[in-house]
Structure 1
Amino acid sequence: MKEMESLEVFYRDKMGILPSDIFRRTGHFNVFTMEDYTGPKPAYPMPYSRKDYYKIALIKGAHTVEYADQTFEVQYNMLMFANPQIPYNWTPSSVQPVGAFCVFTEDYMKGFGSITDYPLYQPGGTPILDLNDEDAAKVMELFQRMFAEISSDYVYKYDVLRNQVFELIHVGLKLRPALTVKREVESNASNRIGSLFHELLERQFPIESTVQQVRLKTAGEFAGQLNVHINHLNRVLKNTVGKTTTQLISERLASEARALLKHTNWNIGEIAWCLGFDDTSNFIKFFKKQNLTTPHQFRS
């Protein structure tokens, strides 16, 4: 899988420009037509990768979309809600897709509600919608309003645009989802979900500050983030690496615990908290089970 695509790479490689306000403190937002993005000779399929920004895209025509370990077949028009946690790619049926999309950073939405509270962005949600032409036209009208607003001289236009992003999310919530079709062979799907698990696990490390804490620490939390059943994730990992989800998480936590005990002067409680243990005694029991010694003995 290709490395995560940054917003800077998106602009330089795909758009040929780098806006001066891309790194402003209040976050970044922009809106484009598909013609702006693809150019005269677009290449498909696009690389399967995560992006470090959010995207909402309306693209007319039939599509095949790979999102996490799922494949969506869109029959009419695609409305996609992509987030930085899940890799994806898409292939249109037409050579030159038509539509519009907006991109924005997490900072842009910070303090104005959380879009991750909505089902479109939650584990197990349906981020790919299949719209008929009438619904697609309504969504395109909203994008046209975005184009008009961003080109205006209104001082608070980015506040208006933020509201329009939420409006677009609510429009998506009211529309019908695309059907999920399992098209890949089992081995390819297993390899991909295994790769996603390891990527999510490793993204939490190394722990570099006592205010940094791992967010995903149980098999159920990883399965939810990957939009798969916990039994399926366990079966995939058992078949590919010979270990369960819990075993792999525990081994990685234990490895990080040893590194922190060895290379920092943090106390045991601080290390326990950073690794997701609210109770220090539970961390000590966990560490002893994994390493056959206590944290204090290991540090000594």
Structure 2
Amino acid sequence: MYPFPGKPLIPVYTSEHHGLTGGKGSQPFSIVQSEGALVYEEDLLIPHRKSYYLLVFVRQNQGRHWVDMTSYARKNRTLYFTAPHQVLVKEAPTPFWGTYLTFTPEFLALQQHAALRELPLILNPHHGHELRLSEADWAFAEDMLAKLAAEYQRPGEWQHRMLTAYLTVLLTYLSRLYTEQFTGAEPSADQLLLRTFRARIEESFREQHAVGAYAAQLHISAGHLSEVVKAQSGRPAIKHIHERLVLEARRLLFYTPLSLKEIAFDLGFSDASYFNRFFKREVGTTPAEYRSSIRKMYQ
């Protein structure tokens, strides 16, 4: 049976909380390598979010985990990557061989990391989670991870620059693989605008529900933004905002016992009745009907 939370809110964990900082306390960046350790934290077995970006390079591991409402059977020689806003849960603890790489949004916000923030693997416009690596790709990744791990244990004046340099190479390489696996082409200027629009939605969807508010952030007209987004994605700009609101609503309906009024307030709706009408228009069922049907499905 799929585990449901016993707490009213989805907890948010730091890398320090789950021992992914190498014993160094709360860190903006960390790398931890495992050779068969049985990673077990009881609170990993309930739905939760992480406050950091997590890249898990699986050399060998079995089991299944969930990201939002999708389950993944873990594969060897595979990268699994998640962002802070996603809801995660493991079904059972299993021995793990591989590497955990973490960094926080604050780490990416530093001026010297501006290029990293725009990489496809970080923006993740296709909502990917699993990246299969060839033998050559895995060898490259392991070499870079070894360099990062060695530098991580070598504090000093040049450590941050060296970590940034290695991380830039690794994430750029993985982003090339990401585009090959999910799109097969290099992004155009309009595609980059679409990605930036989606990233801004991720930052502000609770507070901003109108296209014009995002156009103002991007210093362009609402008409131009709508035109580009529709041409690149096939869907109106407002639809992207609504889809993000629906995704978060589904997460809260599935993973938490929050009332419909509490969920509506969390998502920036002025009242529960408006949220109810919005959800039914977008999904085809009321929030209460969705909560009942989705939980029955996974029991």
TM-score band, normalised by shorter chain: 0.5 to 0.7
Instruction: Determine the structure 1 residue equivalent to 2:282.
Output: none
Checking the alignment, whether the CA contact within 8 Å between 1:64 and 1:71 is kept in structure 2 is yes
- In structure 2, what is the Cα distance between the partners aligned to 1:76 and 1:165? 22
* TM-score, length of structure 1 as denominator length: 0.53
Q: 1:34: how far off?
A: 2.6
* Equivalent AA in structure 2 for residue 220 of structure 1: H
Checking the alignment, whether the CA contact within 8 Å between 1:74 and 1:129 is kept in structure 2 is no
Q: Aligned in 2, Cα 1:49/1:115: closer, same or farther, shift over 3 Å?
A: farther
Which of 124, 129, 134 is the equivalent residue of 2:131? 129
Match status 1:72 vs 2:72 = yes
Instruction: Determine the structure 2 residue equivalent to 1:286.
Output: none
- In structure 1, what is the Cα distance between the partners aligned to 2:155 and 2:266? 54
Instruction: Determine the structure 2 residue equivalent to 1:60.
Output: 59
Checking the alignment, whether the CA contact within 8 Å between 1:12 and 1:18 is kept in structure 2 is no
RMSD: 4.5
Q: 1:74: how far off?
A: 4.6
Q: The residue matched to 1:55 in structure 2 has which SS?
A: strand
Q: The residue matched to 1:103 in structure 2 has which SS?
A: strand
- In structure 1, what is the Cα distance between the partners aligned to 2:176 and 2:158? 28
Tell me the matched-pair count.
Answer: 205
* Unmatched 5+ stretches in structure 1: 180-199, 205-213, 238-242, 257-300
* Unmatched 5+ stretches in structure 2: 183-201, 211-237, 255-259, 273-299
Instruction: Determine the structure 2 residue equivalent to 1:220.
Output: 240
* TM-score, length of structure 2 as denominator length: 0.53
Instruction: Determine the structure 1 residue equivalent to 2:13.
Output: 6
* Equivalent AA in structure 2 for residue 126 of structure 1: G
- In structure 2, what is the Cα distance between the partners aligned to 1:252 and 1:70? 26
Q: Deviations over 1:184-224 (max 9, x none)?
A: xxxxxxxxxxxxxxxx99994xxxxxxxxx24555522525
Q: The residue matched to 1:137 in structure 2 has which SS?
A: helix
Q: Deviations over 1:229-264 (max 9, x none)?
A: xxxx7xx99xxxxx9xxxx589943259xxxxxxxx
Q: 1:226: how far off?
A: 7.4
Report percent identity of matched pairs. Answer: 12
* Equivalent AA in structure 2 for residue 6 of structure 1: Y
- In structure 1, what is the Cα distance between the partners aligned to 2:132 and 2:208? 32
User: Which protein has the larger Cα radius of gyration, Structure 1 or Structure 2?
Assistant: 1
Q: Deviations over 1:273-297 (max 9, x none)?
A: xxxxxxxxxxxxxxxxxxxxxxxxx
Q: Deviations over 1:46-65 (max 9, x none)?
A: 43321011112201235544
Q: 1:109: how far off?
A: 1.8
Q: Aligned in 2, Cα 1:252/1:225: closer, same or farther, shift over 3 Å?
A: closer
Checking the alignment, whether the CA contact within 8 Å between 2:22 and 2:30 is kept in structure 1 is no
- In structure 1, what is the Cα distance between the partners aligned to 2:94 and 2:241? 39
Q: 1:88: how far off?
A: 2.3
Q: Aligned in 2, Cα 1:174/1:251: closer, same or farther, shift over 3 Å?
A: closer
Q: The residue matched to 1:253 in structure 2 has which SS?
A: coil
- In structure 2, what is the Cα distance between the partners aligned to 1:59 and 1:250? 35
Segment drifting more, 71-80 vs 135-144: 71-80
Q: The residue matched to 1:175 in structure 2 has which SS?
A: helix
* Equivalent AA in structure 2 for residue 124 of structure 1: H
Instruction: Determine the structure 1 residue equivalent to 2:40.
Output: 42
Q: Deviations over 1:109-166 (max 9, x none)?
A: 2122164533333342323112244422221111100011112244121122123223
Q: Aligned in 2, Cα 1:46/1:174: closer, same or farther, shift over 3 Å?
A: farther
* Equivalent AA in structure 2 for residue 158 of structure 1: H
* Equivalent AA in structure 1 for residue 118 of structure 2: D
Checking the alignment, whether the CA contact within 8 Å between 1:128 and 1:178 is kept in structure 2 is no
Q: The residue matched to 1:143 in structure 2 has which SS?
A: helix
* Equivalent AA in structure 2 for residue 253 of structure 1: F
- In structure 2, what is the Cα distance between the partners aligned to 1:55 and 1:175? 17
- In structure 2, what is the Cα distance between the partners aligned to 1:46 and 1:145? 32
Q: Aligned in 2, Cα 1:64/1:14: closer, same or farther, shift over 3 Å?
A: same
Match status 1:108 vs 2:110 = no
Q: Aligned in 2, Cα 1:30/1:130: closer, same or farther, shift over 3 Å?
A: same
Q: 1:12: how far off?
A: 4.1
Checking the alignment, whether the CA contact within 8 Å between 1:56 and 1:101 is kept in structure 2 is yes
Q: 1:83: how far off?
A: 0.9
- In structure 1, what is the Cα distance between the partners aligned to 2:267 and 2:149? 50
Instruction: Determine the structure 2 residue equivalent to 1:151.
Output: 153
Q: 1:19: how far off?
A: 2.8
